[in-house]
Chains A and B, each alone.
Chain A
């Protein structure tokens, strides 16, 4: 694949020797970046490597501690997004920067609103939005509210926002995080049509496949340091991976074949409504057996969250049945499910998994603080809680080692996840539900989490793995179910899985087509 629009004679972005310190912490340490007109330039690095920090400086969110930024040959002291915008830079943040109750049009023009006298001129705004969306083939409904449109649509709005500001250089921060394989390839098409129009794109990602599929050049950053810039066509995925991590990595998970046992979790004809009262689960059936990892693949918003909430007792279903080891836990409170064999690693560890203000020790007993082991007559036995936690800290390698009485919020993301895993694994329940268990973790932590999930399965637990990362599902699961529109749209054994089939099912294609 060669990009015919790449103009190597015109440098549009030149970041020289960028260093950024936050207090004692050095997030970027002498980083170089050169981007040409019409180029798609990937920036690769693990979570926390300093990719977003680098881009936030290019976008003027905060100035570099030292180093220089040249845009189209001109040195710019980039100290506000306003400057970046006027220099032709646009950024699509990983967490969308959209005002939920505002309309698409309002979001796009915000900060550059057309005016008629002292009044906002929304008619012109709307016309402009329509024109630009037509020009780049990015169809949106200008009057829809952001809270009512899909994630893919919201991403389009973000791109349009940048284009509306006349961006020549587009920064896309982890743009594919919640898209289907098909949507991803659509996005790549959009990127190519933008470069054909003379735009340059900086793509921040840790997904090697996407880099191979779209980028011309790739700059690798590791722990804040510049590692290399390579021509993508000339390197393999493995090369990229080892440059990113700094050692050879094995993405394959070691897993022995194992015959699954009896059904542990049995979900039948489950119906439930989401927070708006719209039916989101429409007769879902699913079974997980002893010693089996069932991977539930699907795009965010097809009912995964609600399914897990129903099983863990956080949401009331409208119809159906849920049993664990034959015990009916349908519409029972969370504690009941917990007592009858349900444990879970929640999707949002900071929202559901941990009380960040509580110490690590207090977090370790979130479900069983009131059990006899940890309390008597309503008074807590802190000695028991502490010694149990200290044991877990050693066994699960939670760092820093003296974190027993430190607030969980002071731990790194990976260590927070370890606290949750330590808690859920030591709870020793028959069913383990893991929702996006590796989201936002670096490669080392991902390996760690995968190891424990497989270990639980080997021990004969039933594991329900819900993940938006298709790679994760494919490499871990014994059996894969695909959820679409509140039902299981197809299933196949893990060893037979291929991305295209799963992607098709995830997008609503039928299994027998």
Chain B
């Protein structure tokens, strides 16, 4: 009985329930448009699971989201709200792009170099914000929003520089060298999809790494202590400022890494943006759905990636893909108020107890 109750109150079930409600609300929007939700969701399901190719694409779509989700989750666990993952992602992506276009090197050197650049620049983008906070006490949410936009325009500016700009195409950079790509071998691509890449393997490694850092290491202990209770951490001899730097650097590096994987795996070039691509913001939802747990984030990332890819197929039956945003928003909304479900259950239990 106790186990059943525990399961009923578990975050996992609440999340599943929230997802279910998300689809219900999505259906409520589709109906008045004269679109059968059954048909739409069948299409969506088919778009994700209908073929190996679709599944492979879903994974490709999910990979960068797992990284930004990890970045945000890591920041949540260490007491910062990294709303700046967007900018760190963009900068990491651009760093990998510049290296991937300009540095003449064989794959074995070039790929790690691209990742290194992305990690470093993503971390630096996070560190600037941490520095502003530690040094001048500037609200990190505010400065992250600013640095998201600075990254956005800086990326556009760099993409426009003659050295990397694509002469033929006014709206994007050149493609990165083939040596910089991280696609699976040709035979695998034929079996899966043309964009399948090593990113997902790196994502799994990142999940394990983040899990170990948070749960098993003294570093994780220290960062969590600062996140939960700054004063107690300081009292315990933990340097709060150092912890903020480390946490933001790791979080930024994760987001930057996501940017590099999106580029080297999927995009191969960076377009001049007209609007933020929102990988970072979507990472916030992924972190929330995954309850800031690295393993939860992995599955939440897959879920979101699948919806994103499957959702793009909805247009085929005349259903707007925005229904995906409504579903995601609803899921997050119900997760926000999920404690209410649990409370209701508890009350019911109490009543039983009294009767």
Contacts and interface: CB of A to CB of B under 8 A. Distances in A.
Contacts of B218: 369-370, 375, 378-380
B36 interface: no
B235 A353 contact: yes
Nearest to B347: A23
B331 to A, nearest CB: 25
Contact of A334 (B216, B228, B234): B234
Nearest to A346: B235
B10 interface: no
B228 A358 contact: yes
Contacts, number: 61
B340 interface: no
A355 B237 contact: no
Interface in A309-364: 312, 314, 333-335, 338, 344, 346, 348, 351-358, 362
Contacts of B216: 379-380
Contacts of A131: none
A356 B229 contact: yes
B136 to A, nearest CB: 17
Nearest to A374: B218
Contact of A379 (B217, B233, B234): B217
Contacts of B217: 378-380
A366 interface: yes
B146 interface: no
A367 interface: yes
Main secondary structure, interface of A, reads loop
A25 B6 CA distance: 22
Q: What does DSSP make chain B's interface, helix, strand, loop or mixed?
A: helix
Contact of A357 (B219, B228, B231): B228
Contact of A338 (B224, B231, B237, B350): B237
Given A23-B350, A378-B219, A380-B216, A358 B225 contact: yes
A393 B239 CA distance: 28
A369 B221 contact: yes
B225 to A, nearest CB: 5
A314 B239 CA distance: 11
A280 B289 CA distance: 48
B239 A333 contact: yes
B225 A314 contact: no
Interface residues on A, range: 20 to 34
B236 A367 contact: yes
Q: Report, as a range, how many residues of chain B touch the other chain.
A: 10 to 19
B222 interface: yes
B232 A366 contact: yes
B237 A334 contact: yes
Contact of A335 (B221, B224, B225, B237): B237
A355 B234 contact: no
A312 B233 CA distance: 13
Contacts of A338: 237
Contact of A356 (B219, B224, B228, B235): B228
Interface string B335-355: 000000000000000100000
Contacts of A355: 224-225, 228-229, 232-233
A334 B236 contact: yes
A373 to B, nearest CB: 12
B160 to A, nearest CB: 44
Nearest to A24: B350
B53 to A, nearest CB: 42
Given A352-B231, A356-B229, A379-B216, A362 B236 contact: no
Contact of B232 (A312, A335, A354): A354
A354 B235 CA distance: 9
A380 B236 contact: no
A97 B12 CA distance: 40
Contacts of A357: 228-229
B116 to A, nearest CB: 22
Contacts of B236: 334, 366-367
A353 B222 CA distance: 15
A512 B235 CA distance: 39
Contacts of A352: 231-232, 235
A344 B350 CA distance: 43
Nearest to B220: A380
Given A23-B350, A351-B229, A357-B228, A380 B221 contact: yes
Interface in B4-40: none
Contacts of B233: 355
22 contacts: A314-B235, A334-B234, A334-B235, A334-B236, A334-B237, A351-B232, A352-B231, A355-B225, A355-B228, A355-B229, A356-B228, A357-B228, A358-B225, A366-B232, A366-B236, A369-B218, A370-B218, A379-B216, A379-B217, A379-B218, A380-B216, A380-B217
Interface of A: 23, 312, 314, 333-335, 338, 344, 346, 348, 351-358, 362, 366-367, 369-370, 375, 378-380
Given A358-B228, A362-B221, 14 more contacts: A314-B235, A333-B239, A334-B234, A334-B235, A334-B236, A351-B231, A354-B229, A354-B232, A357-B229, A366-B236, A367-B237, A378-B217, A379-B216, A379-B218
Which 3 pairs across A and B sit closest by C-beta, in order of nearness?
A335-B237, A366-B236, A352-B235
